[in-house]
Structure 1
Amino acid sequence: MTEKSPKTAVLLINLGSPDEPTASALKPYLREFLSDRRVVDLNPIFWQTLLNLVILPRRSPKSAARYAQVWMKEGAPLKVYTDRIADKLRQRLQEKAVNADVFVGMRYGNPSQVEVFKAIHNEHGFDRVLVLPLYPQYSSSTTASVSDAVSKAMQQMKSHPKVRFIRDYHTHPLYIKALADQIREHWAKVGPLGEKDRLMLSFHGMPVRYCREGDPYPKQVRATADLLIKELGADPTKVVLSYQSRFGKEEWLKPYSDDTVRELVGEGIERLDVICPGFHTDCLETIEEIGLELKETWQKAGGQSFHYIPCLNDSEASVSLVESIVEDELRHWPE
């Protein structure tokens, strides 16, 4: 690194994806993900036995088939959109002569967050790292896990950089406006909500036990939902909040998205528009689980019109949001 190279590294973190949509690629990815004690905190001896002997052999082929349905030419959607955000952010910062460069790391899979963090300092010579997990709402199973990985990386380094960590952005004005504009753009195409129409805000779920133990996630979800409804000027009775992606037998946050769509059909609702505000970029859990699986659940229950509204991805509003967050942090980070 030359003396003119950027001084601060911006490290964008996302959850991660397998290298390819195959069972052989899914197995190590799922093993790393499901071995994280922040994600599953059951007795490790019991859980690792169950994971390696039962869950991975069964789930890997099934997950591979699901990923194959959403795989893009450039790779997994989550990684593709995260890389695009990084490229656009880097260009904007360069145009403004901001003394920073942008890197991407994945909490699970490649490129490994731990390895990227170490390389930023050891190989590229940056002495400051601004870590931005692309999780709008804080959660112990996502944001805190990223923080754990940063600590792990620093434990493996003889010298490590100064670090600033962005905890969440669930009420950021540009985040709320970007979501609202995404919904408005959709409504401009298909028409506003009628009396028998609903907007569903589907967030990733988590075990209720985590919340009882102090995780602020559901409170931040509610805050995001309230601000979004206000920004839209929508009738609150036509907006439904739900939780998706549960697994296991433990009770998770309710109402569940799949149960909710069945109830809505039973109430005579004819059209359902769904957006996932807890995901910055589209991924398996949005495109496949909501756009395909939840749509099928809706149709089998007798529902009529179903629309999935994409995440912010690498849109102009998305990049402007990330740019604003980064510039604000850098502005308040003394030399």
Structure 2
Amino acid sequence: MKYFTEPKPNHEKPEANVGVLLVNLGTPSATDYFSMRRYLKQFLSDPRVVEVNRAVWWFVLNIILLSFIPFRSAKNYKKIWNRAINESPLLTTTRAQTEKLQAAFKGQKVVVDFAMRYGEPSIEEKIKELKAKKCKKILIFPLYPQYSAVTTASVCDNAFDALKKVRWMPAIKVASPYYKHPKYINALKNSVEKHLKSVNRSLKDTKLICSYHGIPKRYFENGDPYPCHCTKTTMDLQKALKLNNDQIDLVYQSRFGKEEWMQPYFDKHIEELPSKGTKNIIVISPAFAADCVETLEELQIAGAEDFSEHGGEHYSVVPCLNDNDDSIDMLKTLIEEELTGFTVD
């Protein structure tokens, strides 16, 4: 293995910073077939994401799926693409989160940057940049409130793979999931209340649907705690909003393939609600730190159409926390807690 060449240390003016690397899932660089194919191949080739026989999956993915799913995914991305600067909303928001957090740590020996698990900028690239900025310690901060092997553990895999190439290894810490942190729950509560006011609704006559990205049920049965974390987040949000059990539902979205995933399924659940007397709902997606194709297209566009077609009346989606004030305050607090005892002299 070839290791990165390290700069010679300056013993006369030793400098040391601590790096904070925010990591989100990822995004294609463009909506054309080849950009989508490259992104989807990297994502779906991750054994943390698809746990099946690798030889069989290689054939299914490369020979069958990648011949058509890039076109389907591109269609969805085009609906929500940030055309003003030609990038996905997830990239725009994650950059904004990073810039605001860096400003919040102004005057401190903290360098904040971001990377994507799939696509660009890569974790390896950003670790190299943080090292070049004299970061002797690096906090890897997965932007996933609820832990899952599919997401958080995959970030760790990729970060540690990158570190295998480093000659002078920085001290590394991985942030804990924050699915029940009071600041996170309060930020979600505030976002729901702000949205209700903006659409002139009340939870007295409108049901709150908490939609989380799904995982195959098999993963949970094999020990992935993700559904437990989703349940805890929902219970804490319910308590914060003072809701009864019949005023809030937990569902899972974004499934693919024929295998059984965690239920209830978002699409099927909202289709059934009008016939059961629930015709007004708002949807929140607590597992997403920033709006992306799953929230902007799957929830806001497809979900609204589906609910209306089945007799629903009011349907709206609470924006993700994104880079709003509560989000930045929460993330700053979480980072400060993680950096306790992990600072540089």
* TM-score normalised per structure 1: 0.96
Instruction: Give the conservation status (yes or no) of the 8 Å contact 2:18–2:343.
Output: no
When structure 1 is superposed on structure 2, of 70-79 and 8-17 the one drifting more is 70-79
Alignment of 1:179-258 (within 5 A): 179-189=188-198, 190-195=200-205, 197-258=206-267
SS in 1 for 2:119: coil
Task: Work out whether 1:93 is the aligned partner of 2:105.
Answer: yes
2:115 corresponds in structure 1 to 105
Q: Deviations over 1:48-80 (max 9, x none)?
A: 111111111110011111101101123211111
User: Cα 1:6–1:285, aligned 2, differ >3 Å: closer, same or farther?
Assistant: farther
Q: How far apart are the structure 2 equivalents of 1:243 and 1:332?
A: 37
Measured after TM superposition, the shift of residue 136 of structure 1 is 0.4
Quick one: which of 29, 36, 52 aligns to 1:42? 52
What is the one-letter code of the residue matched to 1:90? Q
User: Cα 1:301–1:4, aligned 2, differ >3 Å: closer, same or farther?
Assistant: farther
Measured after TM superposition, the shift of residue 266 of structure 1 is 1.2
Alignment gaps of 5+ in structure 1: none
Q: Across the two proteins, how many residue pairs are aligned to each other?
A: 331
2:148 corresponds in structure 1 to 139
Q: How far apart are the structure 2 equivalents of 1:316 and 1:332?
A: 26
Q: How far apart are the structure 1 equivalents of 2:133 and 2:286?
A: 34
* TM-score normalised per structure 2: 0.93
Measured after TM superposition, the shift of residue 167 of structure 1 is 2.6
User: Cα 1:78–1:4, aligned 2, differ >3 Å: closer, same or farther?
Assistant: farther
Q: Deviations over 1:127-153 (max 9, x none)?
A: 100110100000000000001011101
When structure 1 is superposed on structure 2, of 198-207 and 153-162 the one drifting more is 153-162
Q: Deviations over 1:258-308 (max 9, x none)?
A: 111011111021111001001010000001000011111111111111111
Measured after TM superposition, the shift of residue 234 of structure 1 is 1.7
Q: How far apart are the structure 1 equivalents of 2:15 and 2:294?
A: 38
SS in 2 for 1:228: helix
Q: How far apart are the structure 2 equivalents of 1:276 and 1:4?
A: 45
Task: Work out whether 1:11 is the aligned partner of 2:21.
Answer: yes
Quick one: which of 265, 277, 288 aligns to 2:286? 277
Measured after TM superposition, the shift of residue 334 of structure 1 is 5.6
1:170 corresponds in structure 2 to 179
Q: How far apart are the structure 2 equivalents of 1:134 and 1:306?
A: 27
SS in 1 for 2:150: coil
1:319 corresponds in structure 2 to 328
When structure 1 is superposed on structure 2, of 280-289 and 152-161 the one drifting more is 152-161
Measured after TM superposition, the shift of residue 104 of structure 1 is 0.8
Q: How far apart are the structure 2 equivalents of 1:234 and 1:293?
A: 27
2:92 corresponds in structure 1 to 80
Instruction: Give the conservation status (yes or no) of the 8 Å contact 1:206–1:252.
Output: yes
What is the one-letter code of the residue matched to 2:271? R
What is the one-letter code of the residue matched to 1:127? K
Instruction: Give the conservation status (yes or no) of the 8 Å contact 2:144–2:152.
Output: yes
Instruction: Give the conservation status (yes or no) of the 8 Å contact 2:16–2:134.
Output: no
Alignment gaps of 5+ in structure 2: 1-6
Displaced runs of 4 or more, over 3 A: 1-6
RMSD: 1.5
Measured after TM superposition, the shift of residue 6 of structure 1 is 5.9
Q: How far apart are the structure 1 equivalents of 2:202 and 2:130?
A: 47
Q: How far apart are the structure 2 equivalents of 1:294 and 1:191?
A: 18
User: Cα 1:200–1:6, aligned 2, differ >3 Å: closer, same or farther?
Assistant: farther
Q: Deviations over 1:222-256 (max 9, x none)?
A: 11000001111122211011000000111100000
Q: How far apart are the structure 2 equivalents of 1:92 and 1:334?
A: 16
Q: How far apart are the structure 1 equivalents of 2:19 and 2:101?
A: 12
